[in-house]
Structure 1
Amino acid sequence: MDTATLLLIASLVFLAAGLVKGVIGLGMPTVAMGLLTLVMPPAAAANLLLMPTIITNLWQLMPLATFRPLLRRLAGLIVGLFVGATFNGLPSLGDTDRSAEAALGIILVVYGLWALVARRLPPPGRHEVWLSPIVGYLTGAITAATGIFVVPLVPYLQSLGLEKDRMVQAMGIAFCAATLALMAGLGTGGVLDASRIGSSLVYLVPAILGMWVGQHIRRRVSESTFKRGFFVALILLGLYMMRQA
């Protein structure tokens, strides 16, 4: 595939991924990773989504007054993310036997099915202090193998009982940390590509444009209807990837 075609396809992918994030507040790396791996190796796709994912999540870290308490609360989770991404026995994104595509497909199907059922996990309560590092480790390991960090991270965050604004902030903190953990995992696996990371900055434009369009769509379309369509599409994409792998 020539450079111009790849640039066009990746730009459309990030436009679509940003649109999803604009409507439902998450899902950009999930959509980008799922679609990019249809046209490039998973390791290359993961390198491309690093900077757009980090930068588009930075706004969720504010305000600073509540950032520090949340960061302290999520510290165990974040440590677990980095440990899981760098020390695990799962196949890495750099493997050439298509195991990464199969694993990514499975994660998309599992996440889509869980989201459609939409059953919230029970609050961890006093168990949060030891459960957070375990959830972080599992998420980090899955992230290093697939480039996706929604399972079990998102269901766990939703179980913490945070009010809406703090939940958005907690997701921003966790997603930024998970993306940095993915970067560490790519480095450990020997597939971190600095040139591709640098070139990925160009995809910030379609990603931000997509988020802007998505925010306008959110005001006109039922969020629940959009979510159902989105998660059904994720399941179909996951099944297709599993079949191809």
Structure 2
Amino acid sequence: MDWAMGGMDPLALWAAMAVTLFAGFVKGAVGFAMPLIMVSAFNGFLPPEMAVAGLILPTLVTNLLQATRQGMAAAIGSVVAYRRFLIGTVVFIVVSAPFLTVIPRVAYLLLLGVPVTAFAAAQLAGVPLALPLRHRARAEWGLGIVGGLIGGVSGIWGPPLLVYLLSVGAEKAETVRVQGVVFLIGAVALLVAHLRTGVADAESLLFSAALVVPALLGMVVGYRVQDRLDQARFRRLTQALLVLTGLNLVRQALL
């Protein structure tokens, strides 16, 4: 495994693989949270640039599988249906990526963590937050742009998408497929953007490649859990996980 270490301590590599295995399991079960879990944990023992670079290839590969699990036609249909969110996310990932080493980490963690926690907690408490149909296009553009702005500097653009899908009441299969499609296209944009910034270089991409296998292993086990969840339990599990990830982001910012 020397080729994957990139000069890092072997314990750090094994810790990163263990985190990725767990993140892959959660992604298989609910369709998201892999970058959230990886970045949250990696920031404790890796430089920010290596933490973001490490999640690029596992995110790319797992989302390719997730997006096409129900067939290519369904994946293409999701691209068309959620094109506004996709365009906003991709464009603003490219715009914000160069600011990874400039924007204070506290700022983007709080900007992401506080609204996500508040939204998911309100939904868990039974507060109706469904978007009226006439506002959906604007919400899709707005949340896509927010996801891209935050995603370029943090590698995380999932929470704004989850907020939108929960707001419009998307059912389980659609939720998981759309996440896969949006995350896949976003991951390609993130890779291209950070090839330009230098964050994704030969050393960091070898490290990222080493994390693909544990990500896939975890995802396969997580799929078994997802297939057994009914719509109501899936929705509540998604909301609860959003609360936990949002609180963790706020905790990291405050510490």
Give the aligned partner of residue 115 of structure 1.
120
Q: Of 228, 236, 253, which residue of structure 2 is paired with 1:242?
A: 253
In structure 2, distance between residues paired with 1:79 and 1:231 = 24
Moved more, 20-29 or 159-168: 159-168
- State the AA in 2 paired with 1:134: G
TM-score by length of 1: 0.81
Q: Of 6, 10, 13, which residue of structure 2 is paired with 1:4?
A: 10
Change (3 A) 1:129 1:73: same
Contact 2:57 2:205 in 1 (8 A): yes
Moved more, 10-19 or 121-130: 121-130
- State the AA in 2 paired with 1:32: M
In structure 2, distance between residues paired with 1:106 and 1:123 = 21
Change (3 A) 1:2 1:150: closer
Q: Of 95, 100, 103, which residue of structure 1 is paired with 2:105?
A: 100
Change (3 A) 1:21 1:191: same
Overall identity of the aligned pairs, in %: 29
Change (3 A) 1:174 1:235: closer
Give the aligned partner of residue 4 of structure 2.
none
In structure 1, distance between residues paired with 2:44 and 2:159 = 21
TM-score by length of 2: 0.78
Pairs within 5 Å for 1:208-227 = 208-215=216-223
Q: Following TM superposition, by how much is the alpha carbon of 1:55 offset from its aligned partner in structure 2, in angstroms?
A: 0.8
Change (3 A) 1:56 1:155: same
- State the AA in 2 paired with 1:198: L
Contact 1:20 1:214 in 2 (8 A): yes
> Over aligned residue pairs, what C-alpha RMSD do you find?
3.1
Change (3 A) 1:74 1:230: closer
SS at match of 1:39: coil
In structure 2, distance between residues paired with 1:150 and 1:27 = 7
Q: Of 67, 83, 88, which residue of structure 1 is paired with 2:75?
A: 67
Change (3 A) 1:16 1:86: same
In structure 2, distance between residues paired with 1:212 and 1:228 = 22
1:147-206 alpha-carbon deviations (Å, 9 max, x no partner):
211232221133344443222211111111222232344345442324312331221222
In structure 2, distance between residues paired with 1:208 and 1:177 = 18
Give the aligned partner of residue 23 of structure 1.
29
In structure 2, distance between residues paired with 1:225 and 1:75 = 26
Give the aligned partner of residue 137 of structure 1.
145
Change (3 A) 1:124 1:190: farther
In structure 2, distance between residues paired with 1:232 and 1:124 = 23
Contact 1:15 1:210 in 2 (8 A): yes
In structure 1, distance between residues paired with 2:87 and 2:112 = 22
Unmatched tracts of structure 2, length 5 or more: 1-6
Contact 1:18 1:208 in 2 (8 A): yes
